[in-house]
Amino acid sequence: DYLFKLIIIGDTGVGKSCLLARIMDNEFKITIGVEFGSFVIKMEEKIVKLQIWDTAGSITRIFYRGAHCVFLTYDITRDDTFVNVIDWLKEIKQHANSDIVIYLIGNRCDLEDDREVTRERAIEFCKQYSIDKFFETSAKTGDNVEEVFSLAAKELYL
């Protein structure tokens, strides 16, 4: 069996806890204080488990320790949360292992009419800062949520 630590970071209110709640029991809930959960997938007769840590408020260096993957999350309907992604990225570079896998996650893609951050802008950011993976998700509808966690588990396993 394989165990990998995945952390979800981003500004308050971008849907970090909701992404975790969605993958845990496939329900959308607004939660306060969710600390961590797990996602299990079977690959090549092996069990691959993601231990998923939600910041639920303050972040310390200890939070990054031993993390294999980070979901750097923003809200596509709030430009300020995307602008702050650069500060989160600096924190990752400062505190996480240099080989950590980074995914940029634009959450709340179900609110297309309220979009403030274009996909193109996010893709350009990924190119500029060498971030390999970009997804838009909706914790509310479940769009791309299981897919992005599954892909992370597969990538870490392989």
pTM of the model: 0.90
Say which CATH superfamily domain 2-157 falls into.
P-loop containing nucleotide triphosphate hydrolases (3.40.50.300)
In whole angstroms, give the CA distance from residue 10 to residue 129.
Answer: 17
* pLDDT score, position 130: 95
Q: What does the angle CA 134 – CA 147 – CA 22 come to, to the nearest 5 degrees?
A: 105
Other C-beta atoms closer than 10 Å to the C-beta of 23 total: 20
* pLDDT score, position 23: 84
Tell me phi and psi for residue 46, to 5 degrees.
-110, 150
* pLDDT score, position 57: 59
Other C-beta atoms closer than 10 Å to the C-beta of 144 total: 18
Report the residue count for the chain: 158
Low-confidence ranges of the chain (pLDDT < 70): 26-35, 56-60
In whole angstroms, give the CA distance from residue 10 to residue 65.
Answer: 17
Q: What is the 3-state secondary structure (H, E, C) of 69-116?
A: EEEEEEECCCHHHHHCHHHHHHHHHHHCCCCCEEEEEEECCCCHHHCC
CB within 8 Å of 127: residues ≥ 6 apart? none
Domain ranges (residues) in the chain: 2-157
Name the pairing type of β-strands 133-137 and 101-107.
parallel
* pLDDT score, position 55: 72
